[in-house]
Amino acid sequence: MAVRHFLSLLDLSTEELRHLIQRAMQMKVQQREGIPHASLAGKTLAMIFEKSSTRTRVSFEVGMQQLGGHALFLSPKDTQLGRGEPIEDSARVLSRMVDAVMIRTYEHEKVERFAAYSRVPVINGLTDLEHPCQLLADMQTWFELRGDIAGRTVVWVGDGNNMCHSYIHAAERLGFELRITCPEGYDPDPLILASGGRSVHMVRDPMEAAEGAHLIVTDVWASMGQEQEQSARRRAFGDYVVTSELMARAAPDALFMHCLPAHREEEVSTEVLEGPQSVVWDEAENRLHAQKALLEFLLAWDTQRLPES
């Protein structure tokens, strides 16, 4: 029986990604209208957290409940993974007991190793290399508010981190132009950058990058595990702040997104974060609906067809 994993946005074809976005939008309407959609009744998701999170845990846990299933929260101190059991052994055992596994960790290689030995779908809830679940929510938010993103211009402001990498992959799959503006020394991974081809451009000047853009996106300057670099990063990223002045360079109806948590007056001004162009709260809510669509898709894959929408 085929098993589908979701370790990267590139694990989905363009057709599949567009299907998931539409299915997530449909599930959101169903939830708000009280229409049952318990497509995963009797299914169990194991959630392994080496990196803590608010949005990831709540969205997956609540999502499984709304789909009629159950979620198990597993921290390193609660499992043998935290006591040195090989990842391969944990994968073999867990995947005989649950129907899917979500992992939020540091090294991307960990989720790849786990998936290689798992009998059930493995989901990348976040690694230092990629954050594909967040991109599902971001793209759902755009499609809800502005329609298709193909042909539009997106600007990434700040560190060439896991979110930046997943935006590069989204540009590949959905056909938008991505401008990345970051200080030298903080560029995205060169192989991932190259994979974006003509869809992706590096622009050092953030004001120049924002010119005429339809979506501006940023993230914190120092992610979890980089706290010791905070001072150096604050100096390096001083010119890479999403302000009202920067948003004024974008298209009049441009949107602002941030995966949260945000550091006000660092990577984004309070005025922008709380302003009318900001859709960060819709974006955060859509983690729930996008991940429900993803779970349904992965757990229905043994039928070899897209779930009906």
Task: Say if CB 6 and CB 101 are below 8 A apart.
Answer: no
Q: 162-174 and 14-32 are packed helices; what angle lies between their axes, rounded to 10 degrees?
A: 100
Determine which one of 179, 258, 287, 289 is catalytic. 287
Determine which one of 134, 140, 277, 291 is catalytic. 134
Determine which one of 108, 164, 219, 233 is catalytic. 219
Structure token digits, residue 251: 């298209």
Determine which one of 55, 128, 259, 291 is catalytic. 259
Q: Which residues share a beta bridge with 6?
A: 123
Determine which one of 5, 23, 55, 104 is catalytic. 104
The Cα–Cα gap between 1 and 298 comes to: 13
The Cα–Cα gap between 121 and 4 comes to: 5
- Alpha-carbon 260 to chain mean position: 11
Other beta carbons less than 10 A from residue 106's beta carbon: 15
164 is catalytic: no
219 is catalytic: yes
Other beta carbons less than 10 A from residue 227's beta carbon: 9
The Cα–Cα gap between 34 and 57 comes to: 23
263 is catalytic: no
Determine which one of 131, 152, 173, 258 is catalytic. 131
Which one, of 32, 49, 66, 1, lies nearest residue 296 by Cα? 66
104 is catalytic: yes
- Which residues 6+ apart lie within 8 Å of 274 measured at CB? none
169 is catalytic: no
Tell me phi and psi for residue 178, to 5 degrees: -115, 120
Burial 56-88, CB ≥16 within 10 A → b, else e: bbebbbbbbebbebbbbebeeeeeebeeeeebe
287 is catalytic: yes
Task: Say if CB 8 and CB 168 are below 8 A apart.
Answer: no
The Cα–Cα gap between 199 and 175 comes to: 7
Residue 20 host element (H or E): helix 14-32
Catalytic residues: 104, 131, 134, 219, 259, 287
